[in-house]
Amino acid sequence: MKHRHLLLSLAIGASLLSLSACRKEPAAEAPAAPAAARSGETADQFVARVNDEIRAMYPEISAAQWLSSTYINDDSQLVAAKANERWLARLNEWIEQARAFEGQPMSEDSKRAIGLLKLMSAMPAPRDPAKLEELARIAARLEGAYGAGTYCKGEGAQRQCRQLGELEDVLRSSRDYEAQLDAWAGWHSIAVPMRQDYQRFVELVNEGARELGYADAGAMWRSAYDMDPDAFAAETDRLWEQVRPLYEQLHCYAREKLKQTYGVEKGQVGEGLLPAHLMGNMWQQDWGNLWDILQPYRGAGSLDITGALERQYQQNLGAALHQRGPNPGPRARFEAEREAQLLTARQMTERAQDFYVSLGMPKLPSSYWEKSQFIKPLDRDVVCHASAWDMDMAGDVRTKMCIKPNEEDFTTIYHELGHLYYDLAYNPLPPLFQNGANDGFHEAIGDTIVLAMTPKYLESIGLVQAQSQSREALINAQMRMALAKVAFLPFGLMIDRWRWGVFDGSIPPDRYNQAWWELKARYQGVAPVQPRGEEFFDPGAKYHVPGNTPYTRYFLAHLLQFQFYKSLCQAAGHTGPLYECTFYGNAEAGRRFQAMLQKGASQPWQATLKELTGSEQIDAGAVLEYFAPLQEWLQQQNQGKSCGWQAGPASPARDGDAPEA
């Protein structure tokens, strides 16, 4: 389902499952009886059979999940939970059967496939059928609760109810301190009821992980990287240290601007922390919406993509109204608005597809355009969090989004199509290899394209006006990218620092929220302006927690995408500074990219990385090279300011000390 699927992962979207499925006819072919180990079966035959059974089962499971994410109610939740339950039970059977082949002769591919089998779901399920049933039910309920999350306030005629999209609009556009605080706290209130379920969820997946031989579910997640799990954790610490100085410079600059905007008192919290509700984003993971406050040089190079998309919407609306004749009534106006929203969303998606096609990749199939969810339906709750789905491993790919005409959603479309092009490229492989080289690769594909959306490219597609070539314009362009990419880095790390601690018990339930904010302070340098005690469950307000999607993948992706970008630029013959490169329309870059995608998970990711980049290591060197001009500029801006922050007492995390300074 969702992207990545299969393996380990599972899905973003719906969550649970993960897998993928098939190029055959749908579920009708699924074997009716539980697969028994066949006597006399060799290891290679076993792997072939599992691959066939996955293909056969997969479409039905994805269909159930698609329905439960695009039509949330008790019925769709029940069906999704049951489908997931069957899938997880079957997975446990295969894993059990695979043990019979330990130490037996088999091909390298079979060895790898059996290793991947154990990691196929990020939601390891207990063998006990009653517990498995409970786990599937809780997982569906958590995801549904997130999707249906609604914050209401006021009474009677004053009563107002808003969902995530509208609350995000406030953070994006309002600069009213109290209005933003209300939107931020309002959204976080929807997570309070998830706490009990999440606590039980943790017990159940830990039991499942232990039955598979892992210390806990977090240890299992860390085992999915073709290297020692502890070495992997250490690797993420090393990578964070590489980029931390750059983040701290950006943090320092942002804080100064916030103080100028909101006043010295309100522009920061405690010893230099950024107020969580003022960062333009519900989770402070992307600061791009603060462009009005953080823009280095007013008017130097206008990269107002949101403005351009809004104008496109207005144009579409004008045309839709025009069609309805003079003086359209409220109903006609409403219909024209919906029509224009959908048209704009599709046009944005076509624009993204065009970049991939320019690299020699295929157009998305017509079923994509028919079956995807582009805008938020009006008549029901859906999970708006963007996701990409491979429904059947045979070309039925879809995205599920609630697209609005703004820059963030525009780049998210490129991100989601990256997942789909990965899916389509590896669909010919056996299902167990139909996944990213590691999960960070899957998250990095579309983002690599976003890096290639340089001001010149944006100008060439008519989205922004002619770009000036000044130093000021360069710094503006770099800042725009940094607000998305650099601001994200500590967030990409802290979520699983929290979950690893929750799974291994070092963060017990009575410290869930406290530990969350300690990690937010330590890594991101952000803090809430009001106390957030254990009566809250703030982690639940971030999709990937109730959705159970591992998050370290995004941290890796934010480094990998710069490595991919640099290599594709080289392939395209780019010379000159990295940040000037776009490989739009370059067939050689496309060929190299596609070659990587087609490998899927068929070999260790280090080998795949080496084929594209020449290196076997994830490394932040390319990020630092890319942002060198901005980093120098930030240092000048921050001169004489005291940067850094005091994260407060004893952080729970696993590595070094709180940054300060």
Q: At a CB cut-off of 8 Å and minimum separation 6, what does 178 contact? A: none
Which of ligand X8Z, Zn ion, none does 386 bind, CB closer than 5 to 8 A by kind?
Answer: ligand X8Z
626 binds ligand X8Z (CB under 6 A): no
Nearer to Zn ion, 182 or 443 (CB): 443
386 binds ligand X8Z (CB under 6 A): yes
Nearer to Zn ion, 276 or 420 (CB): 420
Q: At a CB cut-off of 8 Å and minimum separation 6, what does 417 contact? A: 349, 352, 353, 356, 364, 388, 399, 446, 449
State the Cα–Cα distance between residues 460 and 468, nearest whole angstrom.
14
| CB atoms closer than 10 angstroms to residue 581 | 25
Nearer to ligand X8Z, 16 or 634 (CB): 16
By CB atoms closer than 10 A (0-12, 13-18, 19+), residue 78 is: middle
Nearer to Zn ion, 207 or 443 (CB): 443
Cα angle, residue 328 at apex, residues 325 and 334 outer, rounded to 5°: 120
Q: Report helix, strand or coil for 564.
A: helix
C-beta nearest to ligand X8Z: residue: 386
CB of residue 339 to ligand X8Z, shortest distance in Å: 25
Please list every residue from 252 through 291 that binds ligand X8Z, using CB under 6 A.
285
Contact 392, 23 (CB under 8 A): yes
Nearer to Zn ion, 431 or 440 (CB): 440
CB of residue 293 to Zn ion, shortest distance in Å: 28
Contact map string, positions 415 to 444, toward Zn ion, x by CB under 5 A: ----------------------------x-
Which of ligand X8Z, Zn ion, none does 249 bind, CB closer than 5 to 8 A by kind?
Answer: none
Contact 407, 91 (CB under 8 A): no
Nearer to ligand X8Z, 386 or 620 (CB): 386
Which of Zn ion, ligand X8Z, none does 651 bind, CB closer than 5 to 8 A by kind?
Answer: none
Nearer to Zn ion, 412 or 608 (CB): 412
Q: Are strands 387-390 and 397-400 parallel, antiparallel or unpaired?
A: antiparallel
Q: What is the 3-state secondary structure (H, E, C) of 424-466?
A: HHHCCCCHHHCCCCCHHHHHHHHHHHHHCCCHHHHHHCCCCCC
Which of ligand X8Z, Zn ion, none does 520 bind, CB closer than 5 to 8 A by kind?
Answer: none
CB of residue 268 to ligand X8Z, shortest distance in Å: 25
Contact 65, 10 (CB under 8 A): no
CB of residue 115 to ligand X8Z, shortest distance in Å: 24
Give the residue among 564, 308, 339 at the shortest CA–CA distance from 436: 564
Nearer to ligand X8Z, 381 or 447 (CB): 447
Place of tokens 């929750």: 502
Backbone φ, ψ for residue 592 (5° rounding) = -65, -40
CB of residue 446 to ligand X8Z, shortest distance in Å: 9
Q: How many residues sit in the footprint of ligand X8Z (CB under 6 A)?
A: 7
CB of residue 603 to ligand X8Z, shortest distance in Å: 23
Residue type, position 140, single letter: A
Contact 624, 562 (CB under 8 A): no
Nearer to ligand X8Z, 232 or 488 (CB): 488
Contact map string, positions 331 to 360, toward ligand X8Z, x by CB under 6 A: ------------------------------
Which of ligand X8Z, Zn ion, none does 554 bind, CB closer than 5 to 8 A by kind?
Answer: ligand X8Z
Element (H, E) at 526: strand 526-527
Catalytic residues: 385-386, 415-416, 419, 443, 544, 554
Which of ligand X8Z, Zn ion, none does 427 bind, CB closer than 5 to 8 A by kind?
Answer: none
Which of Zn ion, ligand X8Z, none does 412 bind, CB closer than 5 to 8 A by kind?
Answer: ligand X8Z
Contact 86, 133 (CB under 8 A): no
Contact map string, positions 215 to 234, toward ligand X8Z, x by CB under 6 A: --------------------
Backbone φ, ψ for residue 387 (5° rounding) = -150, 160
Backbone φ, ψ for residue 421 (5° rounding) = -65, -30
CA distances from 307 to 434, 481, 484 (A): 39, 17, 17
The residue within the footprint of ligand X8Z, chosen from 121, 349, 387, 561 (CB under 6 A), is: 387
Q: Are strands 526-527 and 274-275 parallel, antiparallel or unpaired?
A: parallel
Which of Zn ion, ligand X8Z, none does 236 bind, CB closer than 5 to 8 A by kind?
Answer: none
Give the residue among 103, 91, 108, 96 at the shortest CA–CA distance from 44: 108
CB of residue 3 to Zn ion, shortest distance in Å: 6
CA 172, distance to chain mean position in Å, is 19
Contact 394, 28 (CB under 8 A): no
CB of residue 465 to ligand X8Z, shortest distance in Å: 28
448 binds ligand X8Z (CB under 6 A): no
Q: How many residues sit in the footprint of Zn ion (CB under 5 A)?
A: 1
CB of residue 626 to Zn ion, shortest distance in Å: 21
Nearer to ligand X8Z, 147 or 272 (CB): 147
Contact map string, positions 443 to 482, toward Zn ion, x by CB under 5 A: x---------------------------------------
CB of residue 415 to ligand X8Z, shortest distance in Å: 6
Element (H, E) at 116: helix 108-118
CB of residue 328 to Zn ion, shortest distance in Å: 39
Please list every residue from 407 through 426 that binds ligand X8Z, using CB under 6 A.
412, 415
Give me 170's structure tokens: 């406030």
Which of ligand X8Z, Zn ion, none does 387 bind, CB closer than 5 to 8 A by kind?
Answer: ligand X8Z
Please list every residue from 43 through 62 that binds Zn ion, using CB under 5 A.
none
Please list every residue from 556 through 615 that binds ligand X8Z, using CB under 6 A.
none
State the Cα–Cα distance between residues 499 and 544, nearest whole angstrom.
11
CA 380, distance to chain mean position in Å, is 24
Q: Are strands 160-163 and 150-153 parallel, antiparallel or unpaired?
A: antiparallel
Please list every residue from 518 through 557 that binds ligand X8Z, using CB under 6 A.
554
C-beta nearest to Zn ion: residue: 443
Which of Zn ion, ligand X8Z, none does 316 bind, CB closer than 5 to 8 A by kind?
Answer: none
| CB atoms closer than 10 angstroms to residue 286 | 20
Please list every residue from 9 through 68 that binds ligand X8Z, using CB under 6 A.
12
State the Cα–Cα distance between residues 573 and 376, nearest whole angstrom.
42
Nearer to ligand X8Z, 12 or 653 (CB): 12
Contact 308, 463 (CB under 8 A): yes
Contact 78, 68 (CB under 8 A): no
Q: What is the DSSP string of 34-91?
A: PPPPPTT--HHHHHHHHHHHHHHHHHHHHHHHHHHHHSBSHHHHHHHHHHHHHHHHHH
Nearer to Zn ion, 216 or 443 (CB): 443
- Give residues in contact with Zn ion (CB under 5 A): 443
Q: Which residues bind ligand X8Z (CB under 6 A)?
A: 12, 285, 386-387, 412, 415, 554
